[in-house]
Amino acid sequence: MDVTTPANAPWLIVGLGNPGPEYAANRHNVGFMVADLLAERIGGRFKRAGKAQAQVVEGRIGPPGPFNRRVILAKPMSFMNLSGGPVNALKDFYKVPVANIVAIHDELDIDYGVLRLKLGGGDNGHNGLKSMTKAFGAEYHRVRFGIGRPPGRMQVADFVLKDFSSAERKELDYFVDRAADAVECLVIEGLERAQSTYNS
> What Å distances lie between residue 72 and 109, 122, 193, CA to CA?
28, 24, 22
126 carries an active-site annotation: no
DSSP-derived secondary structure for 82-129: GTHHHHHHHHHHHT--GGGEEEEEEETTS-TT-EEEEES---TT-HHH
CA–CA separation, 170 and 197 (whole Å): 23
Query: What sign has the CA pseudo-torsion 48, 82, 106, 132?
Result: negative
Other beta carbons less than 10 A from residue 15's beta carbon: 29
- Residue of 28, 105, 126, 141 with catalytic role: 28
Residues identified as active-site: 28
